[in-house]
Amino acid sequence: MGAGSVRARYLVYFQYLGTDFNGVAAVRGAQHAIGVQNYLEEAAERLNSVVPVKFTISSRTDAGVHALSNAAHLDVQRRSGRPPFSPEVLTQALNTHLRHPAIRVLQAFRVPSHFHARHAATSRTYLYRLATGCHRPDQLPVFERNRCWALRADCLDVAAMREAAQHLLGTHDFRAFQSAGSPATSPVRTLRRASVSPDPASSPFVLPEESRRLRFWSLEFESQSFLYRQVRRMTSVLVAVGLGALMPAQVKMILESQDPLGRHQSRVAPAHGLFLKAVLYEGFESTAQRSHVTRHAARSGQP
């Protein structure tokens, strides 16, 4: 490191379709599977940093899970005498060198050297998309495949699902909804929001003659952090309520059982219906996330 060399830390927001990846985390070694992080760090090699650029990912997502907006921090140290990249130039450079079309860097911010993308997050929101009225796989538009969970049922009891979701709100021991392999030291989490709503725009990819049969639904969950596969397990239980296989009060019993191996809570909703929608930080908010929050507030009537 030459004299005058400056290390700059950035918060970067990025999005991806998860279908082609073995999750967001980098896959090291000679395996054929590859993560979103592998492509991001490959693009960052072209920044000619004095030290290799490593992305510290805010929120890990499994294979097949998508992100409207994930986040990471990274350090870039340019050679002596060269000023740090502006956030705008960094964003443009990463996008220029990304070699996978299903990944896009949304925005970057310069942050203090002690900032940590995972620990500093104040809120994470996940969106799960459902489709009803799809009795055969070929009845789902090709543009929606791998982007929602297609249910054979013609309808869902949304009122019952909303009632059941109320039992999940607040601070609880969520180990009944935790999959094995979680690195979390405590199963206690605070669920701030759990909503079930029809997609007001349905899907732009549904033909008019199909629109009466196919309907789309959105489940959203917000917390500072989640346990491993907690959202997909909660979704599976709420879908069971919507299909009449569970009563809303039974969700409270499942939660209080703290048993992850029960008949209903051990089922995991498919990965391809899940989207990481937003990761929020105090003082930093991407323009993409701001538009998502605004749309949600408009739909719910919140200020």
Last residue of some domain: 43, 77, 110?
Answer: 110
Same domain, 147 and 259: yes
Domain assignment present for 172: yes
Domain ranges, residue 92: 8-110
Catalytic residue among 62, 154, 157, 259: 62
Q: Could you read off the pLDDT of 73-130 as tens digits, one per residue?
A: 999 999 988 999 999 999 999 999 999 999 999 999 999 999 999 999 999 999 999 9
| pLDDT confidence tier of residue 302, bands split at 50, 70 and 90 | very low
Binding residue per annotation — 126?
yes
The answer to whether residue 295 scores a pLDDT higher than 60 is no
Same domain, yes or no, for 86 and 145? no
Residue 294 inside a domain? The answer is no
What value does the mean pLDDT of the chain take?
A: 91
User: Do residues 134 and 103 share a domain?
Assistant: no
d(CA 289, CA 95): 19
In a domain, 2, yes or no: no
| Residues 237 and 88 occupy one common structural domain | no
Q: Which of 110, 143, 159 is the last residue of a domain?
A: 110
**Residue 1 falls inside a structural domain:** no
Residue type, 117: A
137 and 87, same structural domain?
no
Q: Which of 153, 223, 155, 228 lies closest to 195 in space, CA to CA?
A: 223
Q: Stretch 125-140: mean pLDDT, rounded?
A: 92
Q: Which CATH number is 237's domain given?
A: 3.30.70.660
Are 142 and 34 within one domain? no
Residue-wise pLDDT tens digits, 43-77: 999 999 999 999 999 999 999 999 999 999 999 99
- 3-class SS of residue 73: strand
- pLDDT tens-digit readout, 211-267: 667 999 999 999 999 999 999 999 999 999 999 999 999 999 999 999 999 988 899
- Domain assignment present for residue 293? The answer is no
Q: Are residues 245 and 134 in the same domain?
A: yes
**84 and 196 both lie in a single domain:** no
The more confidently predicted of residues 297 and 198 is 198
- Tokens representing 32 are 């054929």
Q: Are residues 238 and 131 in the same domain?
A: yes
138, part of any domain:
yes
Helix (H, G, I), strand (E, B) or coil at 164: helix
The string over 266-295, giving b where at least 16 C-beta atoms fall within 10 Å of a residue's C-beta and e elsewhere, is eeebbbbbbbbbbbbbeebbbebbeebeee
Kind of pairing, strands 149-150 and 123-132?
Answer: parallel
Predicted TM-score (pTM) of the model is: 0.91
- Do 283 and 189 lie in a common domain? yes
Q: Kindly state whether residues 172 and 243 are assigned to the same domain.
A: yes
Residue 39 main-chain phi, psi, to 5 deg: -70, -40
Spatial neighbors of 5 by CB under 8 A, at least 6 apart, are: 50, 77, 78, 79, 80
- Together in a domain, 136 and 84: no
Domain count, the chain: 2
259 as an active site residue: the answer is no
DSSP string computed for 104-145: EEEEEEEE-TT--TTTT--EEEEEEEEEES--SGGGS-GGGT
Please report, for the domain that includes residue 33, its CATH number.
3.30.70.580
